[in-house]
Amino acid sequence: MTIKQIYTGCLSQGAYFIESNGEAAVIDPLREISSYLKLSKKYNAKIKYIFETHFHADFVSGHLTLANKTGASIVYGPNADPEFKAIIAKDNEVFEIGNITLTLIHTPGHTLESSSYLLKDEQGKDNCIFTGDTLFLGDVGIPDVAQRYMGVSKEELAGILYDSINNKIKPLSGDILVYPGHGAGSACGKNMMKETVDTLKNQKKINYSLNGSFSKDDFIKELTDDLPVPPTYFPSNVKLNQEGYKDFDIVLKKSLNPLSLNDFKSLSKNDDTVILDVRDQDVFKQGFIPGSIFIGLKGGFAPWVGSVVKDINTKILVVCEKDFEVETITRLSRVGFDNVLGYLKDGFDVWKKSNEKIDSVKSILPLNLKEIIDSDISLIDVRSKLEREKGLLKNSINIPLNDFDTNTLIKSDTYYIHCAGGYRSMIACSLLKRLGFSSLFDISGGFADIRKVNLKIN
């Protein structure tokens, strides 16, 4: 028996390849399926099933493409209503893969069709459970209000989730391993651990949903208080996963389109088109095409594209470093952004050499900020409310990047902007520049470096 976790850091997402005696299964595959096909070939195993834990909102799954390539059956839990051929399994239905089995355990709450899969080894012993977005390490999946179930409130979903975890998962042996659908950084939970696998025994000790520290009413309150607003792109991803999508290979072929400077400039004039600059933030701030949005590949790229650009149908022009074109298109497609018109051939250098207008972002070191902090300056903190509970600069304005409302800001004023480490603040700066704000300072190194210079923190 072989279990492989294929973890994608950009999405904080875990997919799984399971093999036994020449047969295989894949759980929650990403849209580009080459890694699963390679594993299938490596282990000389035919992919028999593709198990989906639920209709994902934060990424486009590869279930349809993989099924078409391999002939494998797609499996969902009760209440699922896909618009394609799939097995809608019953609670406790058993699936054989070689000499092992996977038992579907219906665990609704994150979504109504959410299911976990219990793996029994060759001796029929419980080995591990794949919990999708039901149970995370140190946390649970938040009620997926992005799917807007008719007549089901977030409180009702949270109550259903409590019952699923305590009645279906908690009674299982503590010796089994827990393989979750996401880890720290995902928008599908509030405060997940960085680890991507743990024993159920340890989770029963430390996870508030399992250790008895919360009553059902307290659990519901804990889970639904300050529930983050789901990114705008989530419902669109659910729809793609439920109804269908283009194969990634088709999207890549269409999008991998090198554009001359003149063609790039011509396309960028359309109001429905966004220039997306994915270079490193320290490179971007030194010079970029006016009006472009920075979201760097070296951070949580795909989810931030979804949160900032919002509409998956937006036409996108890419500015990237040489040889990063395929990676950019791949990561955009993972969250359903398939409408890439092309990329600037030879990158920003060709724009710079043509003497076109260039914009930039000023930066300030926390040490220099310390010298002016007591004067009348405007500080913007784009971190989440949860992050600010652990420390914040006095008099700073909180405008979380995932809900970036600039209506209270004045374009002629000067603003000093920070996040935790500098990635999100540069995104914010690019958005403000695009809106016509001209006097901006990015606080280099973010709150991590602010702490080091002993600035007054509340």
Please say if the pLDDT value at position 9 is more than 90: no
pLDDT in tens, 57-76: 999 999 999 999 999 999 99
Gap between the Cα atoms of 187 and 231, Å rounded: 8
Gap between the Cα atoms of 444 and 441, Å rounded: 9
Task: Please state, rounded to an integer, the average pLDDT across all residues of the chain.
Answer: 93
pLDDT value of position 426: 97
pLDDT in tens, 337-381: 999 999 999 999 999 999 899 999 999 999 999 888 888 899 999
The predicted model gives 14-18 an average pLDDT of 97
- Cα separations (Å) of 7 from 69, 196, 231, 364? 22, 8, 22, 36
pLDDT value of position 146: 62
User: Would you report the helix, strand and coil content of the chain in percent, each value rounded to 5?
Assistant: 30, 25, 45
Percent above pLDDT 70 for the chain: 97
Q: What is the DSSP string of 390-432?
A: T--BTT-EE--GGG---TT--TTS-EEEE-SSSHHHHHHHHHH
The top-level CATH class assigned to 362-452 is: alpha beta
Name the pLDDT band for 154 (thresholds 50, 70, 90).
Answer: confident
pLDDT value of position 422: 94
pLDDT in tens, 211-226: 888 999 999 998 888 7
pLDDT in tens, 230-286: 788 999 999 999 999 999 999 999 999 999 999 999 999 998 999 999 999 999 999
CATH of 2-235, one of 3.40.50.12500, 3.30.700.30, 1.10.10.10, 3.60.15.10: 3.60.15.10
Q: Are 446 and 419 in contact (CB under 8 A)?
A: yes
pLDDT in tens, 98-133: 999 999 999 999 999 999 999 999 999 999 999 999
The predicted model gives 146-173 an average pLDDT of 87
- Helix (DSSP H) and strand (DSSP E) numbers for the chain: 16, 24
pLDDT value of position 458: 75
Continuous segment of H or E residues that includes residue 325: helix 325-333
Q: Are strands 115-120 and 100-106 parallel, antiparallel or unpaired?
A: antiparallel
Per-residue 3-state assignment (H helix, E strand, C coil) for 90-135: CCCCEEEECCEEEEEEECCCCCCCCEEEEEECCCCCEEEEEEECCE
Continuous segment of H or E residues that includes residue 277: strand 273-277
pLDDT value of position 187: 67
> What CATH code is assigned to 246-353?
3.40.250.10
CB atoms within 10 A of CB 260: 13
pLDDT value of position 456: 74
pLDDT value of position 374: 81
Domains 2-235 and 362-452 agree in fold: no
Percent above pLDDT 90 for the chain: 81
CA 401-12-201 angle, to 5 degrees, is: 120
pLDDT value of position 145: 61
Please say if the pLDDT value at position 163 is more than 70: yes
Gap between the Cα atoms of 305 and 300, Å rounded: 9
CB atoms within 10 A of CB 357: 8
Name the pLDDT band for 151 (thresholds 50, 70, 90).
Answer: confident
Name the pLDDT band for 27 (thresholds 50, 70, 90).
Answer: very high
Of the candidate ranges 152-156, 203-207, 329-333, 452-456, the one whose mean pLDDT is the lowest? 452-456
Q: How distant is the alpha carbon of residue 22 from its chain centre?
A: 33
Question: Which of 395, 401, 439, 447 has its CA nearest to residue 421?
Answer: 447
pLDDT in tens, 254-267: 999 999 999 999 99
Map residue 171 onto helix, strand or coil: coil
Q: Are strands 94-97 and 100-106 parallel, antiparallel or unpaired?
A: antiparallel
The domain locations on the chain are 2-235, 246-353, 362-452
Burial (0-12, 13-18, 19+ Cβ within 10 Å), 222 = middle
The predicted model gives 317-325 an average pLDDT of 97
Question: Which of 426, 380, 16, 384 has its CA nearest to residue 191?
Answer: 384
Question: Which two three-digit tokens encode residue 120?
Answer: 């029994």
pLDDT value of position 189: 66
- Cα separations (Å) of 405 from 176, 220, 399? 45, 28, 7
